[in-house]
């Protein structure tokens, strides 16, 4: 399976979909959210974005399987609904909808982070489970990989990335050992980084807890995940219709804080929940990824 979507039915219910509305799935991934939106539309418009071309290609192949329709274009009409697949960053949402000649949206979903497909694909270099090249770009148009950061940044910059994005307690030691090691030979593979973390945590248990924090911090930096989220939030007052909803699924405290703080004193929106919505224990037991998920929903006044 490409991706097991967390809180899928909650997302769809919260969007409160109008049949002829215009909706945006800002993070297409395996397409489950987009397919559910499509089912509810009649003469409506769906705009689905992903920075990873694999997600766009996968959606097209799944579309063929589900509806026995061969599509090769990124914009097409199906049963009176218009579907637009866009390989673009959601920080460019304003330009994207302008290009499609849409004025405002009735709802947007952000299901942030990486998909299971991306993590499980050794070529993308997100996981320490495979000995892969340290790439970590979701968008192949980006120029800088995790390998470039590890071999090119100052020790203090590496320390800041590990400390700020993942609150790794051994950030200092890990940054220092990366710099020491790369003086002998550049660091290319995930196994080399795992080995550096192993030596830096001085015999502590749960090596992979530390490793996964370091990998997550690098991924966030490579893809500027917090920066593009902040940029995209600023667009919302202009691109959402009055009464339109925006649903966020976050998996990282930094992401959640950015979303929460943006809406805290924003007079353009009301928050539909005082506290975030969490997946049930049952969902968490079936889908490990759900354990760190939080959903927040806002409505444009």
Residues 224-283 binding ligand SAM (CB under 6 A) are 228
Whether residue 47 contacts residue 100, with contact meaning beta carbons closer than 8 Å, is answered with yes
Query: Which H or E run includes 287?
Result: none
Nearer to ligand SAM, 138 or 175 (CB): 138
**Residue 80 burial class via C-beta count within 10 angstroms: exposed 0-12, middle 13-18, buried 19 and up:** exposed
211 binds ligand SAM per the rule CB under 6 A: no
Q: How far apart (Å, rounded) are the C-alpha atoms in residues 192 and 287? A: 29
- Helices then strands, each counted (H, E), the chain: 13, 8
Answer yes or no whether residue 108 interacts with ligand SAM by CB under 6 A.
Answer: no
The residue within the footprint of ligand SAM, chosen from 21, 113, 125, 279 (CB under 6 A), is 113
Selected from 24, 60, 85, 89, the binder of ligand SAM by CB under 6 A is: 89
Which residues have CB under 8 Å from 259's CB, separation 6+? 229, 233, 248, 250, 296
Q: Does 84 bind ligand SAM (CB under 6 A)?
A: no
Q: Does residue 135 bind ligand SAM (CB under 6 A)?
A: no
Task: Give the interface segment with ligand SAM, choosing from 21-29, 77-85, 191-199, 214-222 (CB under 6 A).
Answer: 21-29
Nearest to ligand SAM of 35, 269 (CB atom): 35
From candidates 37, 48, 50, 136, binder to ligand SAM by CB under 6 A: 50
Stretch binding ligand SAM (CB under 6 A), from 22-30, 124-132, 173-181, 213-221 = 22-30
* Minimal distance, residue 127 CB to ligand SAM, in Å: 14
**Which of 41, 55, 136, 290 lies at the binding interface for ligand SAM (CB under 6 A)?**
55
Instruction: Identify the CA nearest to 220 among candidates 288, 133, 161.
Output: 161
Between 90 and 263, CB nearer to ligand SAM = 90
State in angstroms the smallest separation of the CB of 301 from ligand SAM: 26
Contact status: 52 vs ligand SAM (CB under 6 A): yes
Tell me how long the chain is. 301
Residue 257, helix vs strand vs coil: helix
- Tokens 């020790």: give the residue: 155
- Residue of 264, 272, 277 lying closest to 244 (CA atoms): 272
Closer of 90 and 269 to ligand SAM (Cβ): 90
The Cα 268–Cα 242 span in angstroms is 9
Q: How far apart are CA 275 and CA 188, in angstroms?
A: 42
Binding site for ligand SAM (CB under 6 A): 3, 5, 26-27, 29-33, 49-52, 55, 89-90, 111, 113-115, 138, 228
């Amino acid at each position: 399976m490409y991706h097991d979507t967390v809180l899928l039915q909650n997302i769809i219910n919260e969007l409160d979909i109008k049949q002829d509305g215009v909706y945006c799935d800002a993070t297409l991934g395996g397409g489950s959210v987009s397919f559910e939106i499509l089912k509810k539309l009649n003469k409506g418009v769906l705009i689905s974005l992903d920075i990873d071309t694999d997600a766009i290609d996968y959606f097209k192949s799944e579309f063929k399987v589900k509806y026995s329709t061969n599509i090769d274009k990124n914009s097409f009409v199906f049963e009176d609904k218009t579907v637009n697949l866009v390989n673009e960053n959601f920080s460019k949402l304003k330009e994207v909808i302008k290009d499609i000649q849409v004025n405002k949206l009735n709802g947007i979903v952000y299901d942030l982070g990486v998909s299971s497909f991306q993590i499980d694909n050794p070529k993308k270099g997100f996981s320490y489970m495979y000995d892969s090249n340290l790439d970590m770009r979701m968008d192949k148009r980006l120029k800088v990989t995790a390998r470039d950061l590890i071999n090119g940044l100052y020790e203090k910059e590496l320390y800041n990335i590990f400390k700020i994005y993942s609150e790794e307690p051994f950030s200092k030691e890990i940054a220092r050992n990366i710099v020491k090691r790369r003086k002998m030979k550049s660091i290319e593979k995930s196994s080399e980084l795992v080995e550096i973390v192993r030596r830096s945590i001085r015999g502590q248990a749960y090596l992979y807890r530390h490793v996964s924090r370091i990998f997550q911090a690098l991924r966030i930096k490579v893809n500027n995940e917090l920066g593009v989220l902040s940029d995209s939030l600023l667009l919302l007052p202009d691109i959402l219709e009055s009464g339109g909803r925006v649903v966020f699924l976050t998996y990282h405290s930094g992401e959640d804080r950015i979303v929460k703080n943006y809406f805290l004193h924003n007079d353009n929106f009301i928050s539909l929940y005082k506290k975030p919505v969490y997946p049930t224990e049952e969902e968490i037991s079936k889908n490990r990824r759900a354990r760190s998920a939080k959903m927040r929903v806002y409505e444009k006044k």
